[in-house]
Copies of this chain bind each other. A is one copy, B any other.
């Protein structure tokens, strides 16, 4: 596997030269930054169902057109409407303290009342799940688990379970509300929101994240004196039954020779409502739009079509991506490969493919062009696509994952602090160059990324 020659990219010499030209262009330009600046300044937060989300669709359509995409369109579908409302949280006894808190996505409210109840702490979700039946009657469950910081972000997986199912697990034991230490690695008095889900047939109780310093404080109070009373009121709407229209925004740079073959770049256009969604996922929007622009600016179109998909409603459950798969079932077999960007700020250090093994030499050869940018290739071939693209991966689309240093991603993730100033402009240039190069390589190479039909299902791999 390590003895392939550079020519194995499946590109012609001229195409190899174009690849280098695109690399230089992207490294010297700040288009992706300007796009993020524009999106966060002129639109801002883009919660599903909000005015900001509606404006972001118009913004994206206009930008794609201005950037030279050949075709631009939207694909609408419906999503549940959830509204945050207001929140007030505090430790009320024995020592009164205000608490920085955010309702989790989908959370119900407190019906115009203040819930005031004793707090019972659990070290993690498993401890909460192990609590005896009725042991939390009229109490507030508090999961204090603290997310670990790791370069690849794997601390998130260990922490996020409580966010998704904690409220229903607490309700099963009789709790009247569920609070948790934010899923985040920072120490700011700003809570991290994110989606939660209610189990069917279980009473829906408010689900709220509190900031890391407040979780520390609550633990310190609990450590010296019981009972500790917590007060919570929120007008979060819960699953309202109302729906709202969401829209994937799609733009193509149409292939010159095999336009029916689709290379996809993805990011999500929606964001949580608390910051301006610069990091999550303004950066993905900026990178993928810039890559499309650079390809559209070439003297001739690449062979295959580049399709940039700005997905709707990722934050509330990959709704736009799932809808895309449904609407594009017929042409899914023509999706030759895809890559998403939804992991923030850090420089890419690893490329992980998930392709037909016969295409690996081409990807390895391509990866060598990235080594001067600090990127090495993983030894595995099991990428399914990040974030939204995982839905397309499940539907059979081969993928490449570009893994950045995510050490600080969860400092800002889903907080008010997700703002433009957090964007690392230098890393962004490098990452934009990498995505641009990938887009050009994948639309131009003779390599076939799709797995042969007999190995295309998950079970046989």
Other-chain contact of A41, B37, B52, B220, B416 (Cβ < 8 Å): B220
Cα distance A188–B43 when bound, in Å? Answer: 20
Closest to A416 in B: B189
User: Does A421 lie within 8 Å of B216, measured CB to CB?
Assistant: yes
Other-chain contact of A420, B44, B217, B422 (Cβ < 8 Å): B217
Chain A residues in contact with chain B, CB under 8 A?
37, 40-45, 51-52, 95-98, 100, 187-190, 212-213, 216-217, 220-221, 224, 275-276, 415-417, 419-422
Cα distance A43–B217 when bound, in Å? Answer: 11
Cα distance A51–B212 when bound, in Å? Answer: 25
Report 7 cross-chain contacts, Cβ distance below 8 Å, ordered by A residue: A41-B221, A44-B96, A97-B276, A188-B190, A188-B417, A189-B415, A216-B420
Determine the chain B residues whose CB is within 8 A of the CB of A415 once the complex forms.
189
Closest to A214 in B: B419
Cα distance A100–B274 when bound, in Å? Answer: 11
Determine the chain B residues whose CB is within 8 A of the CB of A43 once the complex forms.
95
Whole-angstrom distance between the Cβ of A54 and the nearest chain B Cβ: 12
Taking the full assembly, how many copies of this chain does it contain? 2
User: Does B51 lie within 8 Å of A96, measured CB to CB?
Assistant: yes
User: Does A213 lie within 8 Å of B420, measured CB to CB?
Assistant: yes
Cα distance A43–B37 when bound, in Å? Answer: 42
User: Does A44 lie within 8 Å of B95, measured CB to CB?
Assistant: yes
Cα distance A96–B221 when bound, in Å? Answer: 39
Whole-angstrom distance between the Cβ of A223 and the nearest chain B Cβ: 9
User: Does A40 lie within 8 Å of B188, measured CB to CB?
Assistant: no
User: Does A212 lie within 8 Å of B41, measured CB to CB?
Assistant: no
Pick the most buried of A44, A45, A98, A188: most chain B CB atoms within 10 A of its CB.
A188
User: Does A187 lie within 8 Å of B44, measured CB to CB?
Assistant: no
Whole-angstrom distance between the Cβ of A375 and the nearest chain B Cβ: 28
Whole-angstrom distance between the Cβ of A445 and the nearest chain B Cβ: 40
Closest to A97 in B: B44
Determine the chain B residues whose CB is within 8 A of the CB of A52 once the complex forms.
96
Closest to A95 in B: B42
Contact A217:B96 (CB < 8 A) given known A189-B190, A275-B189: no
Other contacts beyond A213-B421, A216-B420: 8, CB < 8 A = A40-B217, A41-B217, A44-B96, A187-B417, A189-B416, A189-B417, A189-B419, A217-B420
Cα distance A97–B416 when bound, in Å? Answer: 12
Closest to A44 in B: B97
Determine the chain B residues whose CB is within 8 A of the CB of A220 once the complex forms.
37, 41, 420
Whole-angstrom distance between the Cβ of A103 and the nearest chain B Cβ: 16
Other-chain contact of A419, B37, B213, B221 (Cβ < 8 Å): B213
Determine the chain B residues whose CB is within 8 A of the CB of A422 once the complex forms.
187
Pick the most buried of A52, A189, A220: most chain B CB atoms within 10 A of its CB.
A189
Determine the chain B residues whose CB is within 8 A of the CB of A419 once the complex forms.
187, 189, 213, 216-217
